[in-house]
Amino acid sequence: MEDTITVLFQQGGDEANSASEIPRQLGQVRLIEEIGRGGMGVVWRGYDQLLKREVAIKLLKPSLTSQVEHRARFIAGAQAAAAIKHPHVVMLYYAGEYGELVYLVMEHIQGVSLRQLLSRVGRMPVELAALVIAYICDALTAIHDCQVIHRDLKPGNVLFDHRGELQVSDFGLSLVAQQGTIREDELQGTPPYMAPESFQGETSFQSDIYAVGMMFYEMLTGRPAFPGPRLEEYHLQHRDWPVPQEPLAQVATHPVLLEIINRATHKQRIFRYKRALQMRMALDNFMPNLLLNEVLNRQLHELVTASPPVKAVTEQTPSSPSPNSSLDMITLRAEAKRRLKEQRDEDSSS
């Protein structure tokens, strides 16, 4: 009898959770244990029996890929993401299908996330925060060069491996850019880091840059720029509220840092950096050759490796929920989908 497992997928709003029974062996990969879950699906640790290596397998919710059009977009995004080769980007090996289930097989990273690091240290020293952002911008440049929009950059998707090396992870939401902007019927992303236009279903390279700016703010001040906590409040705050300057000015005394964050988080995307490379080069005006600074790199390594290692490749683990937990994000996305549909119905009737 075939060895099978039951995977529980969390749904949003009033929808009941769904369960899928799948083989423990998916092609050449054997599923070992669940190590994380989020609004898009479940992550398992597995073993590639052909290539003799541990991998991470992201099982996407069947409801996201049941329609042929949606499935094709996810597969296209995975194909583009698999072409990214960069030392600070988690490798996506390949995508597979089992019935209506789409899964992604990725490099398995053992280490800590930026979210876990910030939970431990509160806020980061200015120079180390700038170094982390420079690495993220370097990775994001490679991602955008392959015409991929990440769409879910957040501290939980920035990982540090056992050597302290930074890795940008999780391409479960990534899509191929078409003429610079994508318009969607559903909101995707994590509200504290979503650009104003993303709440309207529009995403571009500048949306990713906005998320990097929001992470930079949080790393320097020890708290997100906007409190939320509900989706409509996040939408209002990202759209209308200025990024609070007083907490930032207390720690980021160098005017260049203030300029970088304010430009990256501008409400209008046309005024943000067009590419992540521009943002990284702007950081050189704060500290030249930031990525080559041996002292800072050593300090970052010491800070990261002092954190206890974890197995998860995503922000959430089954045993460690956070204020922005997966269930909260799923509910927010369901609510956002309903509100977006109501808004478009009103626009079409007016």
Residues with a known catalytic role: 152
Contact assessment for residue 306 and residue 141, using Cβ atoms and an 8 Å cutoff: no
Q: What are phi and psi of 80, to 5 degrees?
A: -65, -40
Give residues with Cβ within 8 angstroms of 19, minimum separation 6. Answer: 6, 7, 8, 9
Tokens of 49: 């029996």
Q: What are phi and psi of 228, to 5 degrees?
A: 65, -130
Give residues with Cβ within 8 angstroms of 336, minimum separation 6. Answer: 186, 187, 199, 231
Give residues with Cβ within 8 angstroms of 25, minimum separation 6. Answer: 3, 31
Helix (H, G, I), strand (E, B) or coil at 220: helix
CA distance 36 to 134: 27
Helix (H, G, I), strand (E, B) or coil at 347: helix
Contact assessment for residue 159 and residue 166, using Cβ atoms and an 8 Å cutoff: yes
DSSP for 217-230?
HHHHHSS-S----S
Gyration radius from the chain CA atoms = 20
Give residues with Cβ within 8 angstroms of 112, minimum separation 6. Answer: 159, 160, 304, 307, 308, 309, 310
Q: How many CB atoms lie within 10 A of CB 308?
A: 8
Q: 94 to each of 47, 79, 84, 178, 288, how far by Cα in Å?
A: 14, 7, 12, 22, 37
Contact assessment for residue 252 and residue 260, using Cβ atoms and an 8 Å cutoff: no
